[in-house]
Structure 1
Amino acid sequence: MVLRLPEHIRTQGVTPMNKMKAGIIGCGNISGIYFKNLKESPLVEVVACADLVPERAQERADEFNIANVYSVEELLAQPEIELIVNLTIPASHANVDIAALEWGKHVYSEKPLAITLEEGLRVLNLADKKGLRAGCAPDTFLGSTVQTAKAAIDSGLIGRPIAATAFNMGLGPEAWHLNPEFFYAPGGGPMMDMGPYYLAAMVELLGPARRVSASAGIQIPDRTVGSGPNSGKPITVKTPTHLAGTVDFENGSILTMITSFDIFGGSGLPWMEIYGTHGTLNLTDPNYFNGDVKLSRMGSEEWELLKPVFECGKNERGLGINDMVEAIADNRDHRANARMAYHILEIMQSFQQSSLEGRHVVLQSTYRFGKLPAPLQTEMINNSI
């Protein structure tokens, strides 16, 4: 079974005959997989796209047979469009979300939710005021890797979770990305770029966090664009490129996390591990939806490969959008929720704040579902019978 609606999530109230019409704003690198996956969705129909570079929007429209190419302002003004998919650069996420909400449209954004907590809170408050949905990537935690680990934890395979590790160790994207400058501006860096994948997985597995302690620095300040028309152009680094710290969770678990754009060669460290009173779970890269989950039981030196609770593809981006549309019809909370994204944003920002101020940072936000959906792996197992 491929992890794509409607096989794996119920579609009560939403049928292919009444798909929610959506417009995509931002037609850069990440947009291709969204266009591709949403073209196959029984819940969402992409009817328009826009980009600050009109030619880029036209290229995507031609590639995926999208009917309309607009300016951003024209797209927001279209009355038939109910949902905006916001794939702009991080510094624009909050502004585009707010504009969409002001136009009375639901919105789903790429990560992070915003680059400041103040901007993120504006998105949350406006969505509440307007009675609209705000969602935010990543939705990779809906994939088989994290959901298999969640099923293992929920069933008691490792006992009570007590600790975890998360390591994102590598070089930055300047070698391959055609316009990598924004990765090194405020709102960029390895924590804001890759941290959401790890922290969304950890919040899904361990629950909300309560405090952060960390160190952060710009360890390699001189960068150069490595490909494309800007190859050789120097990059001014204005945000930390190596962050290391601990996150204490409300359930008592302690996460040790390092995320870096400064690592040459392999580190040999695991992507993610969850440690319990009776065993350990080892997970693969949380940037992908599928991957092995291994279990080491207490008293054993062997790793046991767990059977996935469902099958899915490597890149199912857009699942969070489908789930949000279905949640609107079902009048329940959606999983890739902007409130979860806000909590993750505060965790990420607290790494740098802790380093600058030399103290633990106690988080002000938390995250729990309102009207709970069924556990994802239960839905998927039931719907695969």
Structure 2
Amino acid sequence: MDTKDMSLNENNICEKCGAEALYYIDELNCWLCENCKNEEEELEKISERLEKKFNKRVYSFDIAELLNCLSKDEIYNIARNLGLAKISGLKKDELLNNLIENYESLIEERLLLFEEERYRLLRSYLDKDGVKIFNDIDEEEVEKSAYFIQQGFIYPTLKDGIAVFLMPQIVQKIIEDKNTLDYRRIIKQNGEIINVYRGMNKAYGILNIESIKSILSQYDLYNDNIEELIRESGYYYSEYREDSKLFVNNEIQDIDSLVETIEKECAELEYAKISKEELLVMSNRDYGFSTKAGKAFCKEFSNTFNSNREMLQAIMDDLSIDIQENEVNESIDKILDVMEVDEDNVRNVAANLMGKFANKIRMWKYKGYSINDIKALKSTVKNEINIGRNEPCICGSGKKYKKCCGKNK
């Protein structure tokens, strides 16, 4: 991708996100910021990889013909991803025939683990007669399409020399037949469980399946396939992974260190109680704008400094991740250095606003409590220890402590 740097004082605007643009992209005839340029380059790499695949594929809606032109490894991966058992050691023809024979039932079973988003994306192919032109698909859908390619729901190929994603006829029929109230009810319930867990993943960072089920039960969310739902959606959303029987936020690198810290500092602490509504909000990519802490920060920061939505989101995202492993002041200094804020008084004001927000971020090492929450809990424990049993209760009820909050202590 050909680019040219610009002088920073030219003040060009990124065509995609509205941030300050640093690069002119000749092929696109537009200015882009660094993040959007990197996204375009990554999309270009994906396009190049897919083009190699396209050239080897047939244009057909017949599943047998589509699978037959794949390599043994590609067939094996689709079979494994769909859950086909006892496939190790099979020759290509044996593997191919086994997958074709079981393909319909495997697709049916996998659809029972989907939520509304995945079904909606697949159903959009029906409006295009089962074919989408690659260059017409936005980059978010291209990224998510990788999941469906790996699962064998759609296939990259060429039509008249044009790169397309194609859905086999058998899958189109299954998707159409699933358009029922019963199936809609299933994927709605699945979606609620999946999205609540996605919020939990951002709030708690690391959980075993027993803790996940326990927390979900607090919201009356039950399903015999909870573990499968969460595991499978992890491949689609790419926000977390399974490691040593733990479901782990993808931002966490040193799992052992975090587990050790939690056991050392919060062994007796229950997981923070978070409303279902907040967790559903946290499942969104830009959830910071919808939280009480995020709204307050954005209002104060934008009233004080010239900032756009992209800058505010970047600050909140960076803080939310960086303070999980570093001290708050250290994380703030890093962000201010990147922003090239050098003036002491400006730096102090910005640091103060960021610090107020950072202290409200849910911390993985504190089981979802914020720094402010932990301070409050420690203060409460200290007050309970110091208060006499005949003194007024700290809750403000007017009763003696021994007849109120201290009744069972």
TM-score by length of 2: 0.24
Which structure has the larger Rg over C-alpha atoms?
2
Structure number with greater CO (CA < 8 Å, separation at least 6) is 1
TM-score by length of 1: 0.25
Q: Which is strand-richer, 1 or 2?
A: 1
